[in-house]
Structure 1
């Protein structure tokens, strides 16, 4: 059975940075598609000079390229993965993989709070990375957690890994810490502090865990 693996998390969570690591661990079978990076593949001649329409048309062309990549994988029954913030508009394509009997897996990189997300984005901008507006950062953080909480508690994924990446990479010790692993809604392992740390951010998941352990 082919797999679709979603590598998700808020802005600054380290999705692109750690993608190779997750391939090495075997959690992901193929390099995730970075939807933002597809902007560089859009033909400039397809975009209007009008700044009011430019962003809309760019997003439309990026979505078109992304959908083409997804359907190429589906047609050939290949494993596929992509990065996202777990917003609903990024997940509509998942239904197409489900229809073709893909196993849907999720890796979600958690950040302890919104301020960490903002700080990480600013550091990336200072180092020459792409700009993300504060409104988008806030929306991605909140909607991503809401969709994570509802979809995992509903048993939407075959395999789930929730990994915390709040720790400063400059500090000693492990940066990534596995907080929760589930398979077909069964808890494989959960950190001792998960419920205490995430009961406000992920209430439905925490209730489900309390019922199972």
Structure 2
């Protein structure tokens, strides 16, 4: 059975830097994750330099390029019944419709979700990344992604066959919980559950059980 692997979470949570290292090496060597945020940042700069257009216009062209590239890659994976790996944000219903398309095609759906303690942590991570030459993200998008990812995951977690939830607020990434099928098991004590999980994913949270520590 082919598998769709998804790396999701807040901006600055480590989806690009740490996420791939948490997946099987053989998988990543064969199927490099599609990273729409990073690709957009590269293409936006290219378009701006090549066409001498505004930042906004270059962003629009970059969005179109990313959408077309992503569509080509995921359709190729589906046609060949191959594993597919991508990272991104899932704040729009269309993103979950695509996940449903993979499930209908017989794929198992696995997701790594990397959360951060607060919106401010997300904003600070992105700011520091941009200051060091990494890709930047507008403040309004950071906020939309921080809350929107949680809201939509709370609505659609039943589409995920295996869901691993991590907290990457600190240098040491904390494995909070694992969902397999309809069973969610916490790997930390009740007092260690961060509010972004209990408040941001309330329907998923109430299904969980705690293992003996």
- What band does the TM-score fall into relative to the shorter chain? 0.7 to 0.9
Q: Distance in 2 between matches of 1:192 and 1:27?
A: 32
Q: TM-score, normalised by structure 2?
A: 0.83
Shift in Å, 1:26 = 8.2
Give the length in aligned residue pairs: 204
Structure 1 unaligned regions, length at least 5: 170-174
Decide which of 102, 105, 123 is 1:118's aligned counterpart.
123
CA displacement at 1:23 relative to structure 2: 2.4
Once residues 126 and 193 of structure 2 are traced to their aligned partners in structure 1, the CA distance between those partners, rounded to angstroms, is 27
For the aligned residue pairs, the C-alpha RMSD in angstroms reads 3.0
Question: Displacement of 1:53 after TM fit?
Answer: 4.1
The residue number in structure 1 matching 2:145 is 140
Unpaired runs of at least 5, structure 2 = none
| Counterpart Cα distance in 1 of 2:10 and 2:69 | 23
Tell me the residue number matched to 1:37: 38
* Paired residues for 1:148-159 under 5 Å: 148-152=153-157, 155-159=158-162
State the distance in 1 between where 2:154 and 2:5 align.
17
Matched, 1:182 2:186: no
1:66-77 matches, within 5 Å, as 66-77=70-81
When structure 1 is superposed on structure 2, of 49-58 and 99-108 the one drifting more is 49-58
Q: Matched residue of 2:208: which SS?
A: helix
Q: Once the 2 structures are TM-superposed, how far is the Cα of residue 200 of structure 1 from its aligned partner?
A: 1.6
Flag the 1:107–1:195 CA change in 2: closer, same or farther, 3 A.
same
Query: SS at the partner of 2:206?
Result: helix
